[in-house]
Amino acid sequence: MIENDRIKPDLAVNVVLFTLVETEKLSRSIWANSLISTGKLSGPTDTGTGLFVVTLRDTESDQEIRVLPGDLVTGNESLLEAAIRVVRDVLGVKTNVKLRQIDIFDKADRTVGSRVISIPYWGAIAFDDLRLVLGGRYQVGLELVTSTEFIDTWEQQHNGLEDFDGVSRFGHRLAPNQQRGHERRTNFDMGKPAILGHDHDDMVFYGWRKLRHAFTGRLDPFRFLGMLPFGREFRISDLQNFRDVARGEKSQADQFRRSMLQSEMPLLRQTMKVDNTKRGKPARLYELNMDSSQLDFDSNEEL
């Protein structure tokens, strides 16, 4: 047996942490053209909604490479404990984040030098809870996953979205038909340049595919995600934008509104206020029928 074959691989965790941002807020912020947003949003301008993933500067590379936050697992902690530590200590996020395991990344050639097996976790965080750490320590930043404008552009370029089961900058899936089943296409599959270093593009893609389940069936998306993305009051259109961007799809406004207002989920309660702050017809404001104290953070899962 070759001596190197006796070397045990290191075990690491990475965290795919998503956040939702009204791109108007981001583009008008002090971070718009900084490394915090990487200067490569490649999608939103000053309208719509964007789904972003949190990234760091790769401290082991001399090039400007962005990667997912992560660290090696120590001998006295579980995988989940290590992932929580990455969120709290590496990123500096102090709010609770609900984490779920994605998969195992264990190809022998995935890292240079000593072999590292990584177990990525995914979660979601409200932008207001994340903004406090942007730019800090390891140049904590954002990378666009998908956005209102990205989906609109994709629809125009491909004559519709009927052939796709969700689209993003990190890949997509084709909808099944008589000739094929669900067919995955990551950037690597399509021969496109990587967005993040190492194999972190695939981690983002698979984390995003799991995030989409928040809006499947009768799930309460906010308890599933463990976060409240809006302020206390919001429009139905804000909720629709969140759903569409998270899934990389487009829904019909009237149909979505009916499904929310007729839903058996105790999700919405209407306030007496009317929103006149945006262009167009004034809209009624709603509240989530819950607050942050009702979110269940004790059900972090190691699947």
pLDDT of residue 224: 86
Which candidate, 174, 165, 209, 172, places its Cα nearest to that of 188?
A: 172
Instruction: Write out pLDDT tens, residues 58-104.
Output: 877 767 788 999 999 998 899 999 999 999 999 999 899 999 999 99
Question: What percent of the chain clears pLDDT 90, i.e. is strictly above it?
Answer: 29
Residues 302 and 101 sit within 8 Å (Cβ to Cβ):
yes
pTM of this prediction?
A: 0.85
What contacts 24+ positions apart, CB below 8 Å, involve 161-166? 161/249, 161/250, 164/248, 164/249, 166/208, 166/209, 166/212, 166/247, 166/248, 166/249
pLDDT in the model for residue 247: 92
Q: What is the CATH number of the domain that holds 86?
A: 3.90.79.10
Q: Quick check: helix, strand or coil at residue 94?
A: coil
Parent domain of 215: 1-303
Number of compact structural domains in the chain: 1
Residue 288 in this model has a pLDDT that exceeds 90: no
Q: Which of 46-50, 158-162, 193-197, 235-239 has the lowest mean pLDDT?
A: 46-50
